[in-house]
Structure 1
């Protein structure tokens, strides 16, 4: 419950922090870290509208994406290795939950029957199909020496043996998953979340027809997805500070360290985006193919080193 609450409350603040960092680096004052929450509050007060001809897929898409992201947030050991889910906290299951949310939103974009919705859905599923093999290969590399794809087991092994985290296997897998995080979260250089130019839109093209509370759920799900992916990366490759006990003091300290790690990763990503340009859509497979190659090398290193 603590992890889910952190993601729900903190994800919009993380988005606001990243926007503020980027604004400062571009010479602007920025709207403040709390602006995403103010936007969500404004959208929740508006009346939802749905295009003619849309069905239940369009109406339930935001709810499915929010719920799957929350389930993933409950499974990943952000704060403590004792998530309470036992064997259900599996890395492959978490990836499947996030993919389910992506596929549902893509179907919702197709359900509108608009050219933008179809274009965005096609691009999103293309990127997802290219990113999934990298996630699976990196998962195999991390789970080989642990003997399990259970996330708490992988994180606990890294806490007990720091050599696992700084090994060539983990370094290769970290770079591979970093590229996947950028692709799955819709960040530069794969996608630009702040643009509405039709030639470059991916995620925004699927959600153009949403309004009011539905759009608020879509925006909240996007922020939570970014926070979950950054939290997953930090849990796997920066596990230090994760609580191994369930006492109040260890959990409180781990909570503060988790917020710090994700905040630093988000601020660093926002600062790097200032100097990035969006890749052409036909260049994105090259980036993801490179990350897949790194994941394959990580698997090979896990057997030979």
Structure 2
């Protein structure tokens, strides 16, 4: 009975995150537009776009196979499952769920037979090979202190010494990983359709309608999952004596702060050339290694 309650609670939590994720994407878009002195989209524009896409049928190339058809659902299922594991799941299970979705989306990009899709899929895997070892190394910094890979235990351990030197190094490394995993400048540009620079957008060019809407929603959920990981593992501090409602407001404020910080990073940096990405990831890897050694 207790296990069933945990499953239902986790699914409800994941559903709540799926409903909130487009709002966080909208906050980032609006913040970025304001920093660039543009009017920008409305705050709820992402919801309108998703609703419009989910009402449309998909146009599928006759050269595609079952991989192309199934990939958006697996990508969404991986992101939704990762959101469900945030409360009481295992770190490695969460990361593997996200990796499965990424793998099938890259395979679908190749399956469509488009030159842009193949380019985007190969670039995505190239960046993924650089990002995943650094991400695991960063997470091991917190897991080593907690003595467990359970996210709840890791979060509790992080709250004890939130501003120690290892956590600061790991936080900077994870912030770089956050930018890379969410496909943002300087690694990728989510707003571009220039064939020489796009990565994630190139993989989904052949998608339309409901499948494209699922991919966009899954990307928003994945982005929120990484923001929440950063919040609970590297910004766990809160003032003492807060009521549950005020603690929730404090937590939301930290999430909004990270969202605005992502917009500021995109505004203040330029798109990095692809051959310079390994050096950027090496920097994150060195910080993560220093954090692990300084435990």
Number of residues of Structure 1 aligned to a counterpart in Structure 2:
282
TM-score by length of 2: 0.91
Which residue in the other structure is 1:233 paired with? 230
Once residues 37 and 136 of structure 2 are traced to their aligned partners in structure 1, the CA distance between those partners, rounded to angstroms, is 41
Q: Distance in 1 between matches of 2:197 and 2:77?
A: 28
Establish whether residue 169 from structure 1 lines up as the match of residue 166 from structure 2.
yes
Deviation at 1:90, TM superposition (A): 1.5
C-alpha distance in structure 2 between counterparts of 1:269 and 1:255, whole Å: 21
Question: Is 1:51 the counterpart of 2:61 in the alignment?
Answer: yes
> Residues 128, 39 of structure 1: CA spacing in aligned structure 2 closer, same or farther, 3 A cutoff?
same
Residues 253-262 or 232-241, more deviating: 253-262
Q: Where do 1:196-235 residues align within 5 Å?
A: 196-235=193-232
Deviations 1:169-225 (A, max 9, x none): 111111111111111110110000000000001000000000011111111111111
Aligned Cα RMSD in Å?
1.6
1:258 pairs with 2:251: yes
Match of 2:268 among 268, 275, 288: 275
Once the 2 structures are TM-superposed, how far is the Cα of residue 253 of structure 1 from its aligned partner? Answer: 4.8
Distance 2:272 2:86 in 1: 31
Alignment CA distance shift 1:70-1:253 (3 Å): farther
Where do 5+ consecutive residues of structure 1 fail to align? 78-82, 84-88, 243-248
2:142–2:158 CA contact under 8 A, matched in 1: no
Shift of 1:99: 1.2
* TM-score normalised per structure 1: 0.88
1:108 Cα shift? Answer: 0.8
Residue among 174, 189, 193 paired with 2:186: 189
The alpha-carbon distance between structure 1 residues 46 and 172, as it changes in their structure 2 partners (threshold 3 A), is same
**Deviant stretches of 4+, over 6 Å:** none
Picking from 8, 27, 31, the partner of 2:37 is: 27
Provide the rounded CA distance (Å) in 1 between the counterparts of 2:184 and 2:168.
22
Is this contact kept in 1: 2:109–2:121, CA < 8 A? yes
Compute the displacement of 1:272 (Å).
Answer: 2.5
SS in 2 for 1:274: helix
